[in-house]
Amino acid sequence: MKIAAVLFLFSVFSSSITAFPHFFPNVSSIPPSLLPNITAGAWDSFNNLSGCHLGQKVPGISKLKNYFHYFGYIGNISKNFTDDYDDALETAVKNYQLNFNLNATGELDESTVKQILKPRCGVADIVNGSSTMNSGKAASMTGHTVAHYSFFPGTPRWPRSRRDLTYAFEPRNQLTDDVKRVFTNAFARWSEWTPLTFTESNNYNTADLKIGFYGGNHGDGEDFDGVLGTLAHAFAPPRGLLHLDSDETWIIDDVFASGSPSAMDLESVAVHEIGHLLGLGHSSVEDAIMFPTISSGIRKVELARDDVEGIQVLYGTNPDSNSTTGPSFGEREMSGAHVMSSVVVQIIFLAVGLTLFVL
Ligand code: TQI
Ligand code: ZN
Ligand code: ZN
């Protein structure tokens, strides 16, 4: 067990620059016995804040401010946050509630605390003062339904002359056909609903979309951070770069079984990142592929109605498809094994997240 602990710490703090990703079931399993003590304190203290509102002073509020600061809701006014529920915190709570479709009361009601306690990705919701989530703005009204998808600033998209896009894999990764097939499938989920087609090319340099696994600093100014945290990123059109963190353990099949609880489903992340490659920002619809919280350990690969509506605003419908009237977007499947490992991975996310901002 000691060895396992050392391996765990090593795998968290080492950030290799190697171009070789690892795929399940190879490495880094986090001993579950390490987990409970890490999260217990902060988890409890957030739970106790339920019901708090403006004007109160409650121990633990400073930690909550750290949380909102970390995700971009509170500016860097002072280094040491107090336990006062002040105006800045109330505004942060309101914006957070808007982003997550909660009643924007500015109070820490139960549903808000619940949302805070959920695992989430480590990237800020608010960058440079503007929300990345299109919150409560009701971007466009289509009939009775409010669209919750979003685009990048300026709505960049692939031009009309480029509907047939090519993609290629970083040659240095030497990816197997199994891994490449994951991306082929992920692309197919988007081409099904749009006039876009995606074809693999063997010429990495000339391909429209370039896919590669990289570790740490890999030359685009957006360094990867080792295990968990950021898993992948993609650039808006027409840059076409889709990068994945080679320090993650990637699941390429539905195999979950007992192995690494921190392993991420590659296709789920690929479908999300392709959304970005095509010009979609994040969505505030929880079901959407573009919703910015990763439900770790489960596969979420099917586009939701909101994703389809968003991508069709950019590119229109698929002329070869007869089902333009809307698909049956069913419930997502979640097997028992998935639920189990999902819980474990969620705890890890919390642990890593909380340690990050408590430190
Ligand atoms: N990567 C972030 C993401 O893809 C990076 C990012 C944040 C980003 N904002 C962006 C990329 C705007 C392009 C445009 O969202 S991540 C998720 C999710 C990540 C997160 O590694 O944190 C998924 C990767 F949505 F679940 F949070 C995949 Cl599915
Ligand atoms: Zn990159
Ligand atoms: Zn994203």
Instruction: Give the tens place of pLDDT for each residue, 237-270.
Output: 999 999 999 999 999 976 654 457 788 999 999 9
Residue 92 confidence (pLDDT): 77
Say which range, 72-81, 186-195, 214-223, 313-322, has the weakest mean pLDDT. Answer: 72-81
Residues annotated as catalytic (active site), given as ranges: 273
**CA–CA distance, 11 with 30 (Å, rounded to integer):** 10
Cβ–ligand 1 distance for 239 under 6 Å, the answer: no
Assess if CATH 3.40.50.300 describes domain 141-347: no
Cβ–ligand 1 distance for 272 under 6 Å, the answer: yes
Which neighbouring-strand residues pair with 165?
Answer: 198
358 band by pLDDT with thresholds 50, 70 and 90: low
- Which ligand is nearest to the Cα of residue 72, counting in written order? 1
161 band by pLDDT with thresholds 50, 70 and 90: very high
Residue 101 confidence (pLDDT): 75
Cβ–ligand 1 distance for 271 under 6 Å, the answer: no
Residue 143 confidence (pLDDT): 41
Binding-site sequence positions for Ca(2+): 208, 225-226, 245, 248
Token output for 179: 């891994």
Amino acid occupying residue 76: N
Q: In angstroms, what is the span from residue 17 Cα to ligand 2's centroid? A: 12
Residue 25 confidence (pLDDT): 52
Number of H helices, E strands in the chain: 9, 12
Instruction: Give the tens place of pLDDT for each residue, 36-45.
Output: 333 345 556 6
Instruction: Give the tens place of pLDDT for each residue, 78-93.
Output: 567 788 888 777 877 7
Cβ–ligand 1 distance for 230 under 6 Å, the answer: yes
Q: What is the mean pLDDT of residues 151-158?
A: 98
Q: Name which CATH class applies to 30-138.
A: mainly alpha
- Alpha-carbon distances of 111 from 49, 106, 122, 130, rounded to whole Å: 12, 12, 21, 24
Binding-site sequence positions for Zn(2+): 121, 218, 220, 233, 243, 272, 276, 282, 290
Q: What is the mean pLDDT of residues 215-225?
A: 97
pLDDT score of 356 more than 60? no
1 band by pLDDT with thresholds 50, 70 and 90: very low
Give me the helix-helix angle, 35-47 and 110-117, nearest 10°: 160
Residues sharing a CB contact under 8 Å with residue 134, sequence separation 6 or more, in sequence order: 148, 149, 150, 281, 282, 283, 284
Instruction: Name the nearest CA neighbour of 77 among 66, 61, 93, 63.
Output: 66
Q: In angstroms, what is the span from residue 336 Cα to ligand 1's centroid? A: 26
Residue by residue, DSSP assigns 165-231 as EEEEE-GGG---HHHHHHHHHHHHHHHTTSS-EEEE-S-TTT-SEEEEEE-S--SSS----SSSS--
Cβ–ligand 1 distance for 228 under 6 Å, the answer: no
Residues of the chain with CATH 3.40.390.10: 141-347
Other Cβ atoms within 10 Å of 304 Cβ, number:
22
Helix, strand, coil shares of the chain as percentages rounded to 5? Answer: 35, 10, 55
3-state SS, 91-145, equals: HHHHHHHHHCCCCCCCCCCHHHHHHHHCCCCCCCCEECCEECCCCCCCCCEECCE
- Which ligand is nearest to the Cα of residue 272, counting in written order? 1
Asked if residue 345 lies in contact with residue 338, where contact means CB atoms within 8 angstroms, the answer is: no
Q: Ligand 1 pocket: which of 70, 120, 123, 127 to mutate (most atoms <8 Å of CB)?
A: 123
Pick the residue with more confidence: 251 or 104?
251
Rg (CA), the chain: 21
Q: What angle do CA 115, 121, 126 make, to 5 degrees?
A: 80
Q: What is the mean pLDDT of residues 1-24?
A: 49
Residues of the chain with CATH 1.10.101.10: 30-138
Pick the residue with more confidence: 136 or 220?
220
Residue 258 confidence (pLDDT): 42
- Which ligand is nearest to the Cα of residue 212, counting in written order? 2
Q: 122 in the Ramachandran plot: left (φ > 0), alpha (ψ -120 to 50) or beta? A: alpha
Provide the percentage of residues in the chain whose pLDDT is more than 90: 43
Binding-site sequence positions: 121, 208, 218, 220, 225-226, 233, 243, 245, 248, 272, 276, 282, 290
Cβ–ligand 1 distance for 126 under 6 Å, the answer: no
Average predicted confidence (pLDDT) for the chain: 76
Q: In angstroms, what is the span from residue 240 Cα to ligand 1's centroid? A: 15
Residue with tokens 């392709």: 274
Instruction: Give the tens place of pLDDT for each residue, 261-310.
Output: 788 999 999 999 999 999 999 999 999 999 998 766 778 999 999 999 99
Say which range, 9-18, 128-137, 162-171, has the weakest mean pLDDT. Answer: 9-18
- Alpha-carbon distances of 348 from 73, 159, 164, 306, rounded to whole Å: 23, 41, 40, 29
Cβ–ligand 1 distance for 358 under 6 Å, the answer: no
pLDDT score of 2 more than 80? no
Residue 103 confidence (pLDDT): 77
Residue by residue, DSSP assigns 245-273 as ETTSEEE-SS--TTS-TT-EEHHHHHHHH
**CA–CA distance, 159 with 238 (Å, rounded to integer):** 9
